[in-house]
Amino acid sequence: MYQSIKVNPPDPMMAAIVGSLIGPSMKTSQWTPFYGVGGGIDFNVSTHVGIKLTSDWVYTQLFQDLLRNPQYTWRMPASPTFHFGKNVAK
């Protein structure tokens, strides 16, 4: 995964602080690997309507010179599903 940040500080004091962290160009970029796992399940409420539950977890360490600890991201979305067409089982 390739990440890039471009910063536009609103005042000179913040520009000095940010400039000391990432340099006078106010831009930094880094390529970093990441990995994750995930899965999901569908619950069919009726022939044409269902609920999809998914979950995934991702580990990455972005901008190691700015952020000390790695990031762990966990998502758990739920959404309705709709089944239409000739291939819907009766």
- Structure tokens given for 67: 């952020």
Q: Is the pTM of this model over 0.95?
A: no
In three-state secondary structure terms, 70 is coil
pLDDT one-digit tens code per residue, 53-77: 999 998 887 766 666 677 888 989 9
What percent of the chain lies above the pLDDT cut of 90?
A: 30
Q: Would the pLDDT of 42 be above 90?
A: yes
Dump pLDDT digits (tens) for 18-35.
666 666 665 666 677 788
C-alpha span between 56 and 40 (Å, rounded): 9
Angular region, 26: left φ>0, alpha ψ -120 to 50, beta rest: left
Residue 51: closest CA among 77, 84, 79: 79
